[in-house]
Amino acid sequence: MTMNISTTIRFVCFTILLLATQFRAAAQNSFTDAEADGIKAFLLDNFRQTNACMVIGLFKDSRGLSGMPGFGVFGRTGMDWVDRAAYQPSGMELLAHAGGAGSYHTWVGFDKKQRRGVVVLTTANDVSGEAIGWTLLQRRPLKRENANEFAKEIVGLGFEYGLDKKTQLFVTKVYPQSPASQAGLSAGLIIQKIENVPTAGKTLDECGVLLGANGSPKVRLELVNPERKETNTVELTRGKFLTSG
């Protein structure tokens, strides 16, 4: 569902209120009944108005990584708002938070500049509520591939690769409108050489180092089309592209 930011904030806060009221949180979050009643009163006092502001609530969290030196328990914990390196379209400033347990998944995101928000509630385990939420918040088309992957803008060559049974390096995926796509790369092409260095017998890590080209923005690939029996050499220049179409 989509709604403006004030409505979204009130929806989220009254959802929290409902949980605090219906489920005495002492067992789950170390709240006493009195503290839960205090949360209820606070939310009622502060979130009845349409111009409600965002509040980060803290709770005592006894979880943590006790086995890791210097870490200990989480302590007082609040809801974090993160951008997840998601694609930020022009004119938008996006933040979100995701959570869930078992088959229950929730996601809420805000566009601080356009003052709008998206809330996703789902019990499905074969899709990502987070991916769907980010896609809607970014105002991007909701396609099947967006059900588990949301758009991120990164700098790179724009393709994924793997090793076949003959330990040949080959292209497994090309991202649309990326440097690799613009150079005509497609899935299934064999990468025979990287910067004139044969890839035969090398591991994926070793090939990754070669693709780094010692920090150069450009890398030269010798490609073989196994269907057409053609060999071609291309030079790719790293650039920005979206990881989701």
Q: What is the pLDDT of residues 18-30, one digit of tens each?
A: 444 333 333 344 4
The answer to whether the beta carbons of residues 130 and 99 sit under 8 Å apart is: no
Q: What does the alpha-carbon distance between residue 234 and residue 174 come to, in Å, rounded to a whole number?
A: 15
Same domain, 120 and 167: no
Point out the domain boundary residue: 100, 124, 151: 151
Same domain, 55 and 85: no
> What does the pLDDT average to over 62-74?
61
- The alpha carbon of residue 169 and the mean position of all alpha carbons in its chain are separated, in whole angstroms, by 28
Same domain, 225 and 173: yes
Provide the CATH number for the domain around residue 213: 2.30.42.10
Predicted local confidence at residue 175, as pLDDT: 92
Q: How many CB atoms lie within 10 A of CB 168?
A: 16
What domain range includes position 110? 80-151
Nearest to 146 by CA among 134, 164, 163: 134
Q: Which one has a higher pLDDT value, 145 or 226?
A: 226
Same domain, 235 and 170: yes
Same domain, 172 and 228: yes
The answer to whether the beta carbons of residues 114 and 99 sit under 8 Å apart is: no
Point out the domain boundary residue: 79, 100, 124: 79
> What does the pLDDT average to over 216-237?
94
Which residue do the tokens 């803008």 mark?
Answer: 153
Same domain, 7 and 61: yes
Q: What does the alpha-carbon distance between residue 196 and residue 184 come to, in Å, rounded to a whole number?
A: 19
Same domain, 237 and 167: yes
Residue range 175-193, pLDDT digits in tens: 999 999 999 999 999 999 9
Predicted local confidence at residue 135, as pLDDT: 94
Band of residue 143 on the pLDDT scale cut at 50, 70, 90: confident
Which of 3-12, 38-47, 73-82, 104-113 has the least mean pLDDT? 3-12
Same domain, 167 and 87: no
Q: Is the pLDDT of residue 134 over 60?
A: yes
- Compute φ and ψ for 6, nearest 5 degrees: -65, -45
Same domain, 73 and 84: no
Q: For residue 158, count CB atoms less than 10 angstroms from its CB and return exposed for 0-12, middle for 13-18, buried for 19 or more.
A: buried
Point out the domain boundary residue: 95, 118, 151: 151
The number of distinct structural domains making up the chain is 3
Same domain, 66 and 102: no
Name the average pLDDT for the chain: 78
> What does the pLDDT average to over 132-158?
90
> What does the pLDDT average to over 92-114?
88
The answer to whether the beta carbons of residues 20 and 28 sit under 8 Å apart is: no
Residue range 107-123, pLDDT digits in tens: 999 998 998 989 898 98
Q: Which one has a higher pLDDT value, 55 or 131?
A: 131
Same domain, 84 and 64: no
Same domain, 145 and 109: yes
Q: What is the pTM of this model?
A: 0.61
